[in-house]
Structure 1
Amino acid sequence: MTSTTRPSRAMTVLVTAAALCATTAATAHATGNHPAGADPRPPKIVADWARAWNGTDPQALGALFTTDGTYTDLGLGVAFHGRQEIAGWKARADSLIDNVHVTVRAAHRDGRRITVDAVYAGHLKGAPKPFAVRMTTLLNLDGSRCRIVSDEDHYSLGTVLAQSGLPADWTPSGN
């Protein structure tokens, strides 16, 4: 794949996510499937973020961040800086987890900060069972609110491993 096709795919994901956001919000509102007091429509950047995680193009996730943005996975205790490292993190997750998927349950905005209540799911390669755990993500946006400056994912790695049927000290092969 050439570098000229990557932005095109990322842009397609972003445009598609906007339409998905409206559909997801309408469904949540119609079914009442959102916490009391929460706006059933996630902010566009949240829909884009979820769509990028649920897609197969790692560059789509990196494209949502400022050039010096930071992605921190507190479950694993790792951080990635800049769009390329963040895209690399998504590619690594895809290589270790089949059907990695994020489902947004609710999102709350306070100025430039968005708190996302989500379910993080997938099937660790080599694990006997899939996992689906609660996750809270804190997104800090730039002044224009168009790009993510920082992302902090909070979830229990112990719960991921337990649900997957793996021991608490499990690490992926090749590490």
Structure 2
Amino acid sequence: MSISIIRRAVATGIAVGVLSIAGTSAASAASTASAGAGAAKSAAAVSADHHRGDHRLPVIAVDWSAAWNSKDPQRLADLFVQHGARYTDHAFGTQDYLGRAGVVAWANHTSGLIRGAHIQVDSALSFGDVTLISWTFSGQVAGAPKPFSVPAVTVLRTRGYQIVTDDDYYDKADVLSQSGF
């Protein structure tokens, strides 16, 4: 097993563990602390009016998933900073998609490869300029006999209310196995 795979597994495990233990109450606490300090709220510190059960999700997580599911690549790209944005899907290689144009290219590549690609946010936690999102990725790989549905974790780094970097982690082997390959 390569160091890269181990590092990704550890990072994903830590993120999932933090999300499981902390729930989204830490995001609400961060939002309250940030608002109380009179500081400008970062995307990670703002809580959404959107509810999932008893949990409030950070606005950036809600907007990210809505843009992702909209099938409008530009809507997703508009959540990113104008200059210096990076999107990396670590499961299908380590290619970095740079800038808003790169985010559009990544979204188009994904929609061409995965029919009915959909994400469902399960939980999210924000602190400072970091948002961790635990989600379920589903769809059907082009040419595959069966659809897939796998757990995933995304780490967003933000500046203000815009995404600077997006790192997605999920198990490519699970996607391929569930797809019938």
What TM-score results when the alignment is normalised by the length of structure 2? 0.70
Shift of 1:91: 1.1
In structure 1, C-alpha distance between the alignment counterparts of 2:101 and 2:63, rounded to whole Å: 18
Cα displacement (A) at 1:95: 1.3
Q: Does 1:152 align with 2:167?
A: yes
Matched letter for residue 87 of structure 2: Y
More relative contact order, 1 or 2 (CA 8 Å, 6+ apart): 2
Aligned residues between the structures: 132
Equivalent position to 1:28, from 38, 53, 67:
53
**Corresponding residue for residue 142 of structure 2:** 125
Answer yes or no: is 1:103 the counterpart of 2:128.
Answer: no
Q: What is the SS of the residue equivalent to 1:65? A: coil
Distance apart, 1:156 and its partner CA: 0.5
> Please, which of 60, 67, 81 is the counterpart of residue 75 of structure 2?
60
Quote how far apart the aligned CAs of 1:76 are.
1.1
Are 2:100 and 1:75 aligned? no
Write the letter of the residue equivalent to 1:115.
Answer: L
In the alignment, the residues of structure 1 paired with residue 96 and residue 53 of structure 2 have an alpha-carbon distance, to the nearest angstrom, of 32
Gaps in structure 2 of 5+ consecutive residues: 1-47
2:107 to 67, 90, 97: 90
Residue 61 of structure 1: CA displacement? 0.9
Counterpart code for 2:179: S
Q: Following TM superposition, where does structure 1 have runs of at least 4 consecutive aligned residues deviating by more than 6 angstroms?
A: none
How far the C-alpha of 1:136 sits from its partner, in A, is 0.6
Structure 1 residue 75 displacement after superposition: 0.2
How many percent identity over aligned positions?
A: 36
Structure 1 CA distance for aligned equivalents of residues 177 and 91 of structure 2: 14
What's the CA shift for 1:108?
Answer: 0.7
Output the TM-score relative to the length of structure 1: 0.72
SS across alignment from 1:66: coil
SS, match of residue 154 in structure 1: strand
Cα displacement (A) at 1:22: 3.7
Q: Distance in 1 between matches of 2:73 and 2:66?
A: 11
Q: CA RMSD in A?
A: 1.2
Question: Any gaps of 5 or more consecutive residues in structure 1?
Answer: 1-20, 30-39, 167-175
- One of 16, 31, 51 as aligned partner of 2:66: 51
Aligned equivalents of 1:50, 1:160: Cα separation in 2: 20
